């Protein structure tokens, strides 16, 4: 038949599509590891943060007593020689992060919900800038001097154990936290549930020593918490760097600084000079509203001894 009045003949009167007032989100980066760093916010007008530390008079914890075996022997009625007390430091810079969106008047006026649009611009901007900040923190892992793992070899339980034991041998007293690349998490979880391996002779003792507690969602939570292994919490992150021309990925285990008791040995530090800020600026000739979002923050290694690079196959 012909002559029907349809949605095609009434194009100007019929919506091309129904738009839900609910807008879905996208897959964002996990919110770590910035919360595990010791805060060193400067009180003076400077963008460089210096964190001093005492230089040990005891040598290193695993030097078999070389620094104190005879060095502190004293002789009766003989003057003691003066030994200088000294400090060293690590420093890092605070940098600026910024993002600008320019919604047009038409976009604002014709949007399903202008209020929802501006609300999302602000929350999304904060999330994006924090992802950039967390990415810079993850880039620090490769600068830890001590490494566990072998290039082009998948992460194993033995690699994680080596990192934990090495930190303990260097005197890393304090709570630890692990940040692993997604591939490292996959390999670690697979290794922990592997079948066909030999059972430990003292199974009960092994179970208590390992003490694994798994996140039932495999780390699919905002913080990315995956599991607790030997009293260390492990988190997943997709912002970790690659190494060796992309063959490997780099995670880390380090002394966390988010508890005041750990501050003296916290491996990584952070500082802020400006919290996340949103400012609007009108551009009348373009009929747009600039939404400027910025923050100033920095991070750096403050105790290299108390962090361990975890290297494994990508």
Which residue ranges make up each domain of the chain? Answer: 28-53+88-192+205-313
Alpha carbons within 13 angstroms on the beta-carbon side of residue 284 total: 0
DSSP state of 104: B
Backbone φ and ψ for 158, nearest 5 degrees, come out as -60, -35
**pLDDT attached to residue 202:** 60
Query: What is the SS3 assignment for 303?
Result: coil
Q: Phi and psi for 67 in degrees, rounded to 5?
A: -80, -15
**46 vs 40, 49, 163, 273, 297, CA distance in Å?**
12, 8, 36, 9, 12
- What is the predicted pLDDT for the residue at 9? 53
Structure confidence at residue 5 (pLDDT)? 45
CB 149 within 8 A of CB 210: no
Reduce the DSSP state of residue 153 to 3 states and report it: coil
* Cβ partners under 8 Å of residue 87, min gap 6: 52, 53, 54, 55
DSSP 6-72: -TTTTGGGS-SS---SS-----PPP--SGGGSEE---SSS-SEEEEEEEPPSS--TTSTTTTTSSTT
CB 290 within 8 A of CB 281: yes
* pTM confidence score: 0.88
Beta-bridge partner residues of 91: 50
User: Which residues of the chain register pLDDT less than 70?
Assistant: 1-10, 12-16, 195-206
| CA neighbor of 94 nearest in space, from 16, 163, 172, 42 | 42
CB 291 within 8 A of CB 121: yes
CA angle, 61 then 249 then 170, to 5°: 5
- Give the span between the Cα atoms of 312 and 161, in whole angstroms: 14
The pLDDT assigned to 114 comes to 77
d(CA 159, CA 310): 8
Q: SS3 for 305?
A: helix
Distance separating alpha carbons of residues 197 and 258, to the nearest angstrom: 38
Q: Does 3.40.390 match the CATH number of domain 28-53+88-192+205-313?
A: no
């Amino acid at each position: 038949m012909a002559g029907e009045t349809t949605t095609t003949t009434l194009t100007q009167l019929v919506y091309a599509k129904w738009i839900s007032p609910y807008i879905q989100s996208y897959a964002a980066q996990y919110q770590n590891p910035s919360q595990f760093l010791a805060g060193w916010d400067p009180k003076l007008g400077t963008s460089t943060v210096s964190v001093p530390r005492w230089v040990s008079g005891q040598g290193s914890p695993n030097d078999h007593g070389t620094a104190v075996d005879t060095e502190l022997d004293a002789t009766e009625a003989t003057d003691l020689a003066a030994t200088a007390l000294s400090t060293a430091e690590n420093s890092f810079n605070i940098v600026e992060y910024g993002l600008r969106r320019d919604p047009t008047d038409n976009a604002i006026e014709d949007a399903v919900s202008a209020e929802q649009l501006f609300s999302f611009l602000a929350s999304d901007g904060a999330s994006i800038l924090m992802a950039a900040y967390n990415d810079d923190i993850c880039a620090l892992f490769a600068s830890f001097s001590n490494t566990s793992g072998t290039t082009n070899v998948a992460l194993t339980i033995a690699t994680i154990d080596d990192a934990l034991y090495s930190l303990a041998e260097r005197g890393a007293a304090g709570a630890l936290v692990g940040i692993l690349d997604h591939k490292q998490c996959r390999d670690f979880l697979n290794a922990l549930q592997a079948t066909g391996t030999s059972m430990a002779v003292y199974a009960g003792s092994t179970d208590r020593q390992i003490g694994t507690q798994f996140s039932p969602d495999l780390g699919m939570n905002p913080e990315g918490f995956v599991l607790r292994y030997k009293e260390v919490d492990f988190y997943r992150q997709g912002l970790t760097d690659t190494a060796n021309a992309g063959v490997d990925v780099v995670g880390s285990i380090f002394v966390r600084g988010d508890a005041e008791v750990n501050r003296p040995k916290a491996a990584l530090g952070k500082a802020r000079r400006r919290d996340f800020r949103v400012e609007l600026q009108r551009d009348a000739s373009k009929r747009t509203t600039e939404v400027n979002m910025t923050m100033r923050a920095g991070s750096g290694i403050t105790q290299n001894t108390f962090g361990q690079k975890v290297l494994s196959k990508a």
